Amino acid sequence: MSVYAVILAGGKGERFWPKSKRKRPKQLIRLISDKTMIEETFSRISRFVPKERVIIVATTDIKDSIQNMFSWATDDNLLLEPFPKNTAPAIGYVATKLTVRDKDAIMLVLPSDHYIPEVDKFLNTVDLAIAIAKKGYLVTFGIVPARPETGYGYIEVGELIDKSVYRVKNFKEKPNQKEAQRFLREKRFLWNSGMFVWQVDRILEEIKIHMPELYDKLVRFKETIGTEKENESLLNLYEEAPKTSIDYGVMERAKNVAVVKASFKWDDVGSWLALERVIKKDNAGNIGIGEYIALDTKDSIIVSDNGIIATLGVKDAVIIKDENIVLVCDKRRTQDIRKLVQMLREKKKNKYL
């Protein structure tokens, strides 16, 4: 059974506006190193899976950027979605393509924008997850919580299957603060990382059971793969498919689901505040990227793509300069940056998106 690494790169990353835009979303920007987030993801997995078996799923908006970044990203390795529709259609699309290419394939599904600095520990966990997937389980990766996080979903572990591997008892939606504190105390809840491993025929079998309408559309699409009707059929698939995550559509309903308790450091880098967890602060608690000067400035995030940002008497702020856009935001409101993006869209200020 050959392992294929599937990198999901269809997200918009709106909480990282103005750095993240439609044609240059979060996965294509440099946030935590001199590599883009998707380059970091590929670099991690390239030690485990040859590039011939790495598949990137992206939208047509970033096709050229992906191919400029990865010369090996041909039609076999770069699968383009007509438009994003969450992870269930994307995973169904890849799984269906893979059944034609390699019916015994194992899919390792990875978001393109995670921070995982401990590569050896990560690959050891992947190796364990694959061994469990070969036994017929749908496998997800659970992260040991480091704080009472309300922005992540959680996994409640059940009985022990193998070393660091448990049956999933329940999936929990993003909790409130009180629930998150309880999850942290009880030590039987893990963060849901959004990374998965399964045999390709197993995930399609579960889609057939729990999302039969999507499965029927995938069957019709499969009949056109390799023909001149494939692109039209793919468009029809996405127009009719539900906008649903694989977690909700399948994982929360399937029975044979396992979670590997991961030992590696992990962050989903979901908003500007994540930089405080992955980049060293200065003596005043500030994170700075690019050129800036800060006087009487504390606990702020300052990012400049060119020119200089000067701050005076500022505390708990996020200040981002990208080309001709400047964002100034209270740190407590970073989750609401999407509302600014929506406001720009409504005002038809699309040149800033």
Instruction: Return all residues near 56 (Cβ < 8 A) that are at least 6 apart.
Output: 7, 9, 38, 66, 70, 73, 77, 78, 79, 112
Q: Are 321 and 260 in contact (CB under 8 A)?
A: no
Which residues of the chain are in CATH 3.90.550.10 domains? 3-262
Can you tell me the distance from the alpha carbon of 108 to that of 198, in angstroms, rounded to the nearest whole number?
Answer: 7
Q: What pLDDT shows up at residue 319? A: 98
Can you tell me the distance from the alpha carbon of 110 to that of 211, in angstroms, rounded to the nearest whole number?
Answer: 22
Q: Which residue has the tokens 């480091």?
A: 146
Q: What pLDDT shows up at residue 207? A: 98
Q: What pLDDT shows up at residue 1? A: 85
Q: Cα torsion at 108, 113, 114, 120 (round to 10°)?
A: 60
> Under CATH, which number does the domain 3-262 receive?
3.90.550.10
Half-sphere exposure of 339 (CA within 13 A, CB side): 5
Q: Which residue has the tokens 């995938």?
A: 218
Can you tell me the distance from the alpha carbon of 214 to that of 238, in angstroms, rounded to the nearest whole number?
Answer: 10
Low-confidence residues in the chain, pLDDT < 50: none
Looking at residue 47, the DSSP 8-state letter turns out to be: T
Q: What pLDDT shows up at residue 71? A: 92
Q: Are 124 and 141 in contact (CB under 8 A)?
A: no
Q: What pLDDT shows up at residue 11? A: 86
- In the chain, the percentage of residues whose pLDDT exceeds 90 is 92
Q: Model-level pTM?
A: 0.93
Q: What pLDDT shows up at residue 263? A: 85
Q: What pLDDT shows up at residue 232? A: 96
Coil/strand/helix, residue 286: coil
Q: What pLDDT shows up at residue 225? A: 96
Q: Are 168 and 259 in contact (CB under 8 A)?
A: yes
Can you tell me the distance from the alpha carbon of 153 to that of 141, in angstroms, rounded to the nearest whole number?
Answer: 12
* Nearest residue to 56 (alpha-carbon basis) of 73, 37, 36, 39: 73
Q: What pLDDT shows up at residue 12? A: 86
Q: What pLDDT shows up at residue 86? A: 94
Q: Which amino acid is at 139?
A: V
Can you tell me the distance from the alpha carbon of 111 to that of 42, in angstroms, rounded to the nearest whole number?
Answer: 10
* Nearest residue to 113 (alpha-carbon basis) of 40, 172, 220: 40
pLDDT by residue (tens digit) across 204-238? 999 999 999 999 999 999 999 999 999 999 999 99
pLDDT by residue (tens digit) across 257-278? 999 999 899 999 989 999 999 9
Q: Are 155 and 260 in contact (CB under 8 A)?
A: no
